[in-house]
Amino acid sequence: MTLRLAIALVLTLLMAQAGPAQALTITDQRGVTVRFAQSPQRIVSLLPSLTESICALGQCQRLVGVDRYSNHPDSIARLPRLGGGLDPSIEAVVALRPDVVLLSISSRASERLEALGLKVVALELKTHADVRRVLQTLGQLLEVPATEPERLWREIQDGVDAAARSLPPAARGLRVYFEVSRGPYGAGEVSFIGETLTRLGAKNVIPAELGPFPRLNPEFVVRADPDLIMIGNRSMQARAPYPGWDQMRAVRGQRLCVYGVEDSDVVVRPGPRMAEAARIMARCMAEKLALPESVGPASAPNRERP
C-alpha cells in the first residue's frame, strides 16, 4: 500500500466516524426550536438592539434588512427599512428571501412569517441577564467563536462599573425616576435600565413588583417625588405636561435630564451600548447633584412607597 493510499484510507475512516454534519439548532425565547442546515447568511433584524448586537459581533454584512428604528452603526444606513418591529411589512420581508428573521417575542409578525415558510427566531431583552443570553444565542446562530459574546459582555460590564466609579459618593441613594416613553411608561427596578441605575448606586422609585416597564398613573410619580428625573424622549418634547409635576422637587430644582434622539436611542436599548448608556446616566446624576440647592437623598424626608 502506497503512502498516498494509506492517507486516503485514514481520511475516509475519520469522515465515516464523524458522520454527517450536524444541523445548527437554536431555541428561541418562545421555547421554539429552529433548525438550520448552516449558519444564516441573509438576516433580517426587526429590533434595533438585535441589529446592534449582530454588528457588535462583527457580522453586519449578513444583514439584508432592518426595522425602521435600527440606525446604528452607520454601516446599516443603506439597508432596506421594513416597517416597525411589531408590525413590519410582511411582503417586504419575504421579498428579501432571508435565511432567518430576528424579532421580539411580542411581535405580531412571527406566525405570519412562519406560515410563509420563513425561519423566525424570537428574542427579548428586558434585563441584563437577557442581554447576555441573547448575545450567546446570536453567537451560536452566527457561529462566531464562543469567546466573542463573553468578551463583548465583559466589555459592557466593565464599562458600567467604570461609570459607577466616576460618580461622587453623594450620588449613592439618589432617588431616580426614568421615563421610557409617554404614558407615562417608566423603567422599573427589574428592567435593564433599572439594573443599570442600581449599579450606579441610584434608588429606583418604581419597585420591582410593578414589572420592568409599567404604565403609571402620573400621580404615582408625583407622590414618589424623586430627587432626579430622566426622560428618554425621541420626540424632543421638553417634558410631558402631567398634572402635578410642577410641584415635584426635581422639577422645581431643574433636576431633569431630557435625552434627545441620539442619547435616548442609547439609553433605552439593551445591548452592546449599555456601557455608553451608563456613562450618559452617570453624567446626568453628577451634573444635577452639582446644582445649587440640590436636594440629595440624605436630606430628603422619608416617604412611604407609593
Each of the 306 residues of the chain gets a pLDDT tens digit; together they read 454 434 334 333 443 344 444 689 999 999 999 999 999 999 999 999 999 999 999 999 999 999 999 999 999 999 999 999 989 999 999 999 999 999 999 999 999 999 999 999 999 999 999 999 999 999 999 999 999 999 999 999 999 999 999 999 999 999 999 999 888 999 999 999 999 999 999 999 999 999 999 999 999 999 999 999 999 876 545 555 788 888 899 999 999 999 988 999 999 999 999 999 999 999 999 999 876 654 443 333 333 333
pLDDT of the residue at 233: 73
pLDDT of the residue at 304: 33
pLDDT of the residue at 242: 85
Q: How many CB atoms lie within 10 A of CB 95?
A: 12
Under DSSP, is residue 158 helix (H, G, I), strand (E, B) or coil?
helix
Alpha-carbon distance of 170 to 190, in angstroms, equals 23
Grid cell in block for residue 242: 402631567
pLDDT of the residue at 292: 60
pLDDT of the residue at 243: 87
* Distances from the Cα of 151 to the Cα of 98, 177, 276, angstroms: 28, 31, 16
pLDDT of the residue at 210: 97
Alpha-carbon distance of 246 to 229, in angstroms, equals 12
pLDDT of the residue at 46: 98
pLDDT of the residue at 291: 66
Which residue, 117, 45, 121, 39, is CA-closest to 79?
Answer: 45
Which residue, 151, 128, 119, 144, is CA-closest to 27?
Answer: 119
pLDDT of the residue at 92: 97
Alpha-carbon distance of 69 to 51, in angstroms, equals 10
Tally the residues of the chain.
Answer: 306
| Angle at 268 (CA atoms; ends 263, 270), nearest 5 degrees | 120
